[in-house]
A and B are shown apart, each in its own frame.
Chain A
Amino acid sequence: MAKRISVSRKMTKIFRKWEGILFFILLAFVLEGISRVEIVSSLYFPPISKDISTFLNLTVSGILPLETLKTFTRMACGYVLAALIMIPLGIFMGISNKVYNVFEPIVELLRPLPPPAIIPAVMLFLGIGNSMKVFVIFFACSFPIILNTIDGSRSVYPTFLHTARSFGLNRYQIIRRVILPAATPQIMSGLRTSLPISLIVAILSEMIGSIDGIGHYILRMQRTFNIPEMYAGIMMLGLVGYFLNKIFLWIDKTLIAWHKGWRISGI
């Protein structure tokens, strides 16, 4: 009797573990059925199986990965540029009131502007080439990064700073050894916020003015009525977003592993 209970418990456990995937597969079957029996026109909504096979075909033939790579390169350039400029600036704004007062009004002035709104103006100066996209991505990513960095470097425990000063560390050492590590978790959260933003803005700028990239590809496929190809492109985007987030979480975990232990130890 006891054994049977434990077996059924095991079954429930396994079921619980896989129910998310089960639901996902079930949903795919329902969508397949909807399209097969033409509840929704299969012209607009091809069966999932067809989308997936198109997706695989396009992936193997290298069309989708190539377009995605172009988008990704632009995105990475803008993102890294924003991180390289905004993290140091944010730290200086966080530790020096003078620097903060100089730049704060500009940041506050530009912050409420939705990043896509600057695309038309940037297009005038930089055309529709890569530099326009990189600049717009840079602009969009800057705000979450700089605001979080300022916050992070301002909220360093005063005790830490006093201790560092008592031990005779100079300004540079304090920044490197105390402020930077203490602000890292918050800097990372800013970087994490701006990651999906960079992807969205990259795709948008490709939809508005571009000749390649995954955003342009999806829109072109829709306009030329290659609907399965369009869905395949969208699936690819979902995957890219998903894995970007996963990779980032992994980096985050390895970079600030010490922080979790530090928090648990109760300081």
Chain B
Amino acid sequence: MNNVLKNIGKSKISGFVLIMLFLGLWEILSRLGRVDFHYLPPISIIANSLYELIGSLEIIRHILISLRRVVMGYLLGASVGYLVGFLCGYISRIYSFLELTLEYLRPMPSIALIPIGILFLGMGDTLNVFIIGWACSWPVFINTMDGVSSTDHIFLNTARTFGLNQWSIVKKVIIPSSVPYVFTGLRVGLGIAVAVDVITEMVVSSSGLGFFIITTSLSFRIPEMYAGIVTIGLFGYILNKSFLLISRRALRWQRGFLSAEK
């Protein structure tokens, strides 16, 4: 018995047991009316409402709308961030020109731009896409710039010795060696894209997952609200996992390269 307890303490089971205990306590307390039934409905009721929402396709519609906005905004932000970051990293002169402007704009909270966005773009999808793009372009920009400007000098000199012209140096040396940095930026950017998507939908939109949770909360459909929050968590989780899957594929050569170096 003692041994079993020890094993539980050592493995991750203890953590899952804790979660299970927590959820069980939630269910019981809520059923017994120890906490307000309306604010914290039992887990089983939340699960049931999630099931119903999926069955009636209501939440599927919101998921698809959010997904479209995230993907479009992400592609916009990532490509702009990559381009500007590449230019700034490749030609340091451009960065010194833009430095002050960029350093002023960068710490500006992206949601502060929502009011300006409403004025110029209205309340449609364009607004969400632009704000998401703005927010997730920064990590991509910074990381790309770092990656490009920190290309190993030995690589560059070797390439020059072998008589590669500038274009093929960019294509064969600088871009590949900056890829790991770029992927770090892209990964951070994806998380930001999801969060900002939820934010913009909460503040302005009339569709999407962010809108869904805020409207269910205000109209007191509490189990649906919790179901929506769970869905958003899963949404972010799945996007992140699929990104990791893709990047592992794309960076396969790099891992081999690194281990060869060791």
Contacts and interface: CB of A to CB of B under 8 A. Distances in A.
**Chains A and B come from one and the same complex:** yes
Interface of A: 16, 19-21, 23-24, 27, 44-45, 97-98, 101-106, 109-110, 112-121, 123-125, 196, 199-200, 203-204, 207-208, 215, 218-219, 221-222, 227, 230-231, 233-234, 237-238, 241-242, 244-245
Contacts of B111: 200, 203-204, 207, 215
Interface string B72-106: 00000000000000000000000011111101111
A120 B214 contact: yes
Given A102-B18, A203-B111, 7 more contacts: A21-B100, A104-B15, A105-B15, A105-B19, A113-B229, A120-B229, A227-B119
B116 A112 contact: no
A116 B202 contact: yes
B15 A208 contact: no
Contacts of B101: 20, 23-24, 27
A218 B116 CA distance: 10
B18 A98 contact: no
User: Which of A102, A112, A199 has the largest count of B CB atoms less than 10 A from its CB?
Assistant: A112
A235 B119 CA distance: 17
5 A-B pairs closest in CB distance: A241-B107, A120-B217, A105-B15, A222-B115, A114-B195
Nearest to B8: A101
B203 to A, nearest CB: 5
A117 B232 contact: yes
Interface residues of B, number: 59
B105 A44 contact: no
B207 interface: no
27 contacts: A20-B99, A24-B101, A24-B104, A97-B10, A101-B9, A101-B10, A102-B18, A106-B18, A106-B19, A110-B233, A112-B240, A113-B229, A116-B202, A117-B229, A117-B233, A121-B225, A121-B229, A124-B217, A200-B109, A200-B111, A200-B199, A203-B109, A207-B111, A207-B114, A208-B203, A234-B113, A238-B108
B226 interface: yes
Interface in B131-180: none
Contacts of B108: 234, 237-238, 241
B139 to A, nearest CB: 10
Contacts of A241: 106-109
A260 B137 CA distance: 30
B98 A20 contact: yes
